[in-house]
């Protein structure tokens, strides 16, 4: 089993760990003894992998990692070509294996991997497994919201389902390069729809089924899909959500803006709602079950170039307009497969469950593509993780003998609050690797996850990455090195993280600053759909020569990376990224709201909560009703997950003389750190701060 010990103890034993403090990209191993005594603090806790785990691990020690890492940064073309060769390519890529311009000062940013290579990711996820002896292996175990509802598909059954839908889509005129919007909950039809699009070279854009009609409409108008795929309704916990109604509203909205959608393919989710109760527009709406099963169960693959687009996924930025992150085929395929394999120490006998929804990048890379490229058995769960009781997750783990369980810190914290008894009542003995994603995991949640859920036996892969990165960037490799609770540890193969200061100067050694990356990696996004300029401005101009992540980061004296959260106007609520500007623009659309400023504040379960300062239109009194109606406006315009936790009435907002809102002060007020407001002398009207403080708990 694992030992939890002090870093200083571990280091004193003279063992060495990977250390990057002498400069990114360069690898040096330091003898830990030279580090001297470390003060006793949580940060110095090291969690050592057991010999038993290491013996079976893909990367059993730091030496093996260092050897592979060294090659990955010194010879990226060779390193990634070797891995890419394990997949099926109709035609091999040309030379060079990759090309990049990563520096805006040298012209447009341009990243290409495996250019000239011809492949298909659906073929590699499905057909390749069927042909290599895994035809009867379970691809998907599906578990419904209501206990007792379940289903499964083998790889060969999955292939048939994917082909039927692919044939249907082709038949209705969807061609290579066309966009398809998928607005579905976690039914098996969601990964099926993604794979079917990929099979025919269509570009999917999955919209999380928690987004409102307005948000869906905005995405429809941006990418102008040929088809929208949805279902009539879904049950989540004890609630029934009528998704088709939301789609109807979104389609009406987009046709008002002259984007009309001719086809809405609707899956009848009988567990949630009968056909007859669904509102219907003849001519446009078609039941999935009426058409798709009639199509042949085999379908020719559309072979695409490695750099052809695979999908668009919208994510929040610091302005009101969501960004369409574009990923292409070849590099993304190789990268998601490889990160999945090593970060979870994947073995063919594993049963893998990721609780994320396919509406987010985690569900793209680590429910659908990464696992299936490895021929894994994946659990897809439709419902809420605490329904009908807080033990549901462990019930599902025991039921399918889940070995790898990947989730978000917010769920860990909420289950931790419910009490150990809901966990210990289940065996969980199948578990061997745990994973965390979406936000920094606080050490106490890490420890609970490790000790209680994993019985002090399972390493935790705290994977840092982003919608933009396609796959893991900084992550533990289980068994490869000691872990520190709360640290994402070291970079994945091929990734060269750097920490820069305000001026964009790289800092060495133990330090804090902005997290950047100094070279491309196969899974990197290639552009923002329709807005390459915004792509460059947001990610490549802040610190020329680097990709800027938007996150703050600390590197400790042992070289471990600690992510400290967003440094831009993006907040992270339960692992969901929300732009403060989006919430503000929803609030100010309310007829009684004159101005709004939104900041994040620390929230016990969600990580960050949404705190909105609101100035009302002259003469409008503040009321409880108005508070509710402001929150409702945000729910309607973005989605329930973006609803503000706190509305703070603000007769005025703290602004500089040039009119810029001083968010720094608002963050302190939101955190009730009233004695840390800092310098307020540059405010146009310093007394607004006192006013705000006086109204803090109204
Ligand atoms: C932002 C990206 C990538 C999948 C889920 C979210 C934060 C993500 C971690 C982690 C600390 C993390 C960052 C990042 N984040 N994972 N393990 N430790 N922070 O994807 O919506 O693109 O959000 O989530 O702030 O920038 P996303």
Cβ of 607 less than 6 Å from ligand 1: no
Confidence band for 59, pLDDT divided at 50, 70 and 90: very high
Atom number in ligand 1 closest to CA 576: 21
The predicted structure's pLDDT at residue 44: 60
Cβ of 323 less than 6 Å from ligand 1: no
Cβ of 365 less than 6 Å from ligand 1: no
Statement: residue 452 has pLDDT above 70: yes
3-class DSSP state of 5: strand
Residues 110, 395, 531, 568: which is the catalytic one?
568
The predicted structure's pLDDT at residue 340: 99
The predicted structure's pLDDT at residue 628: 97
The predicted structure's pLDDT at residue 339: 99
Q: Whose CA is nearest to atom 21 of ligand 1?
A: 577
Cβ of 462 less than 6 Å from ligand 1: yes
Question: Ligand 1 centroid vs 315 CA: distance in angstroms?
Answer: 12
3-class DSSP state of 474: strand
Burial of 532 (0-12, 13-18, 19+ CB in 10 A): middle
* Structural tokens at position 274: 């009968």
Quote helix, strand, coil % in the chain, to nearest 5. Answer: 35, 25, 40
Distance CA 163, CA 462 (A): 36
Cβ of 302 less than 6 Å from ligand 1: no
For range 221-241, the mean pLDDT: 96
Question: Ligand 1 centroid vs 464 CA: distance in angstroms?
Answer: 6
Alpha-helical segments (H) within 322-448: 330-343, 361-363, 370-373, 392-400, 409-418, 421-424, 443-448
Statement: residue 298 has pLDDT above 80: yes
Q: Name the more confident of 216 and 696.
A: 216
* Structural tokens at position 652: 């005025």
Cβ of 361 less than 6 Å from ligand 1: yes
The predicted structure's pLDDT at residue 13: 31
Q: Whose CA is nearest to atom 11 of ligand 1?
A: 440
Cβ of 561 less than 6 Å from ligand 1: no
Statement: residue 9 has pLDDT above 70: no
**Tokens 């574009």 belong to which residue?**
326
Statement: residue 31 has pLDDT above 90: no
pLDDT tens track for 656-680: 888 889 999 999 999 999 998 888 8
Contact partners, residue 336, CB within 8 Å, separation at least 6: 365, 366, 369, 370, 373, 470, 471, 523
The predicted structure's pLDDT at residue 684: 87
Determine whether 568 is an active site residue.
Answer: yes
Question: Ligand 1 centroid vs 575 CA: distance in angstroms?
Answer: 7
Give the closest residue to 603 by CA, choosing from 582, 584, 578, 628.
Answer: 578
Q: Is the peptide bond before 96 cis (omega within 30 degrees of 0)?
A: yes
Q: Whose CA is nearest to atom 19 of ligand 1?
A: 439
pTM above 0.80, yes or no: yes
Cβ of 608 less than 6 Å from ligand 1: no
pLDDT tens track for 299-350: 999 999 999 999 999 998 877 788 999 999 999 999 999 999 999 999 999 9
* Structural tokens at position 653: 């907002």
* Structural tokens at position 266: 């609707």
Question: Ligand 1 centroid vs 361 CA: distance in angstroms?
Answer: 10
Atom number in ligand 1 closest to CA 436: 17
The predicted structure's pLDDT at residue 35: 28
The preferred substitution site among 358, 572, 576, 642 for testing ligand 1, maximizing ligand atoms within 8 Å of CB, is: 572
The predicted structure's pLDDT at residue 458: 95
Q: Taking the C-alpha atoms of 187, 124, 520 and 85 in order, what is their torsion angle to the nearest 10 degrees?
A: 160
Tell me the DSSP string of 3-52: EEEEHHHHHHTT---EE-TT-TT--EE--GGGG------GGGEEEEPPHH
Cβ of 439 less than 6 Å from ligand 1: yes
Range 228-242 burial, b when 16+ CB lie within 10 A, else e: bbbbbbbbbeeeebb
Confidence band for 43, pLDDT divided at 50, 70 and 90: low
Supply angle C-alpha 319, 320, 321, rounded to 5: 95
Q: Report whether 30 contacts 68 (CB < 8 A).
A: no
Count of Cβ atoms closer than 10 Å to residue 418 Cβ: 13
Q: What is the mean pLDDT of the chain?
A: 92
pLDDT tens track for 544-575: 999 999 999 999 988 899 999 999 999 999 99
Share of the chain above pLDDT 90, in %: 86
The predicted structure's pLDDT at residue 525: 98
The predicted structure's pLDDT at residue 88: 98
For the ranges 37-41, 208-212, 625-629, 673-677, which has the lowest average pLDDT? 37-41
Q: Whose CA is nearest to atom 13 of ligand 1?
A: 439
Q: In DSSP terms, which residues pair with 464 in a beta bridge?
A: 474
């Amino acid at each position: 089993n694992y030992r939890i010990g002090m870093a200083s103890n571990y280091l004193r034993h003279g063992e060495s760990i990977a250390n990057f403090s002498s400069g990114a990209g360069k690898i040096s191993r330091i003898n830990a003894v030279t580090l001297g005594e470390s003060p006793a603090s949580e940060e110095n806790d090291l969690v050592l992998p057991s010999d038993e785990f290491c013996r079976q691990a893909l990367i059993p020690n730091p030496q093996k990692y260092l050897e592979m890492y060294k090659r990955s940064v010194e010879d990226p073309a060779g390193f990634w070509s070797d891995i890419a060769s394990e997949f099926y390519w109709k035609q091999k890529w040309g030379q060079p294996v990759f090309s990049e311009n990563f520096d805006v000062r040298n012209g447009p940013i341009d990243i290409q991997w495996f250019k000239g290579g011809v492949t298909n990711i659906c073929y590699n996820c499905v057909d390749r497994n069927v042909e290599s002896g895994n035809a009867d292996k379970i691809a998907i175990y599906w578990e419904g919201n209501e206990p007792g509802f379940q289903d499964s598909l083998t790889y060969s059954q999955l292939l048939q389902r994917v082909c039927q839908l692919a044939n249907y889509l082709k038949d209705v005129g969807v061609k290579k390069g066309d966009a398809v919007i998928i607005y579905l909950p976690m039914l098996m039809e969601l990964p099926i729809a993604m794979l079917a699009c990929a099979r025919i070279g269509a570009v999917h854009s999955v919209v999380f089924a928690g987004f409102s009609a307005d948000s869906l409409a905005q995405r429809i108008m941006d990418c102008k899909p040929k088809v929208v795929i949805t279902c009539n309704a879904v049950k989540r916990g004890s609630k029934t959500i009528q998704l088709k109604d939301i789609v109807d509203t979104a389609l009406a909205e987009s046709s008002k803006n002259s984007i009309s959608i001719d086809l809405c393919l609707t899956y009848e989710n009988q567990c949630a709602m009968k056909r007859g109760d669904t509102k219907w527009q003849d001519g446009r709406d078609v039941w999935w079950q009426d058409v798709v099963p009639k199509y042949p169960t085999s379908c020719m693959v559309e072979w695409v170039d490695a750099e052809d687009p695979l999908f668009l996924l919208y994510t929040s930025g610091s302005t009101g307009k969501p960004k369409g992150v574009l990923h292409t085929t070849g590099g993304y395929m190789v990268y998601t497969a490889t990160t999945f394999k090593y970060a979870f120490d994947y073995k063919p006998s594993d049963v893998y469950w990721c609780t994320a929804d396919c509406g987010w990048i985690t569900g793209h890379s680590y429910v659908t593509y990464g696992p299936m490229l490895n021929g894994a058995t994946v659990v897809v769960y439709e419902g809420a993780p605490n329904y009908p009781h807080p033990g549901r997750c462990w019930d599902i783990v025991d039921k399918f003998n889940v070995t790898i369980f990947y989730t978000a810190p917010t769920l860990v914290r909420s289950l931790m609050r419910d009490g150990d008894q809901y966990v210990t009542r289940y065996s969980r003995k199948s578990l061997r690797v745990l994973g965390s994603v979406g936000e920094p995991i606080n050490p106490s949640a890490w420890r609970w996850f490790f000790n209680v859920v994993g019985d002090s036996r399972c390493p935790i892969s705290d994977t840092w990455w982003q919608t933009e990165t396609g796959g893991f960037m900084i992550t533990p490799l289980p068994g490869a090195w000691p872990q520190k609770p709360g640290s994402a540890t070291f970079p994945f193969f091929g990734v060269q993280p750097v920490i820069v200061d305000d001026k964009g100067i790289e800092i060495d050694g133990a330090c804090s600053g902005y997290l950047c990356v100094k070279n491309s990696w196969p899974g990197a996004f290639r552009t923002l759909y329709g807005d390459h300029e915004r792509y460059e401005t947001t990610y490549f101009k802040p610190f020329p020569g680097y990709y800027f992540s938007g996150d703050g980061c600390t590197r400790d004296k042992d070289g471990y990376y600690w992510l400290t959260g967003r440094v831009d106007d993006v907040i992270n609520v339960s692992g969901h990224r929300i732009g403060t500007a989006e919430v503000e623009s929803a609030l100010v659309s309310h007829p009684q709201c004159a101005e709004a400023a939104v900041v994040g504040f620390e929230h016990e379960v969600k990580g960050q909560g949404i705190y909105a300062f609101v100035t009302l239109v002259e003469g409008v009194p503040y009321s409880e009703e108005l508070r509710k109606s402001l929150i409702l406006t945000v729910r309607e315009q973005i989605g329930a997950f973006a609803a503000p936790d706190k509305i703070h009435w603000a007769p005025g907002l703290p602004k500089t003389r040039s009119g810029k809102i001083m968010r720094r002060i608002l963050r302190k007020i939101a955190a009730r750190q009233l004695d840390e407001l800092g310098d307020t002398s540059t405010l146009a009207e310093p007394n607004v701060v006192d006013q705000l403080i006086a109204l803090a708990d109204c």
